[in-house]
Amino acid sequence: MEVFDTFLEGIFVASLVLFSLILIIVVGSSSGSRRPYKSKTKWLTRKEYYREYLKSEAWQRKRYVVFKRDNWTCQECGAKATEVHHLKYAKYQIGKEPIDWLVSLCSPCHRKKHN
């Protein structure tokens, strides 16, 4: 009888594992379609995603390239550039924007751009 109990228990555990696996796949795929950079409507989450991107090493490298191209000069007033402004944002492939879309600015000019 003891063997039978363990067998049933095994089936129970196995089905539990299977069920949670299915649940993970279902939940995973449905939330996957809501991934920020794939959606047009979820601007906020995209923005959040972008905020994360701005902390990334890839962005730091890109920033450097833009500063170098613009000779560390604000493209509005000619002061020392400290910030990079997006003229355009990549819609789906965040982080894949061409550097033509980016411009070096000083802090006051950048603030003006966003007002």
DSSP state of 80: B
Q: What does DSSP assign to residue 1?
A: -
Of the candidate spans 17-25, 34-42, 76-84, 93-101, the one that interacts with Zn ion by CB under 5 A turns out to be 76-84
Q: Which stretch binds Zn ion (CB under 5 A): 15-23, 24-32, 43-51, 79-87?
A: 79-87
Q: Rule CB under 5 A: say whether 106 interacts with Zn ion.
A: yes
User: Cα(25)–Cα(11) distance, rounded to whole angstroms?
Assistant: 21
* Beta carbon of residue 61, minimum distance to Zn ion (angstroms, whole number): 18
| Shortest Cβ 31–Zn ion spacing (Å) | 30
Q: Confirm or reject binding of residue 87 to Zn ion (CB under 5 A).
A: no
Tell whether residue 109 is a contact of Zn ion (CB under 5 A). yes
3-state SS, residue 90: coil
Q: CB of residue 62 vs Zn ion: minimum separation in angstroms?
A: 14
Q: Is 77 in the site for Zn ion (CB under 5 A)?
A: yes
What is the torsional sign of CA 77, 59, 29, 26? negative
Instruction: Find the binder of Zn ion among 66, 74, 102, 103 (CB under 5 A).
Output: 74
Q: Quick one: 49 exposed, middle or buried, by C-beta within 10 A (0-12, 13-18, 19+)?
A: middle
- Residue 95, amino acid: G
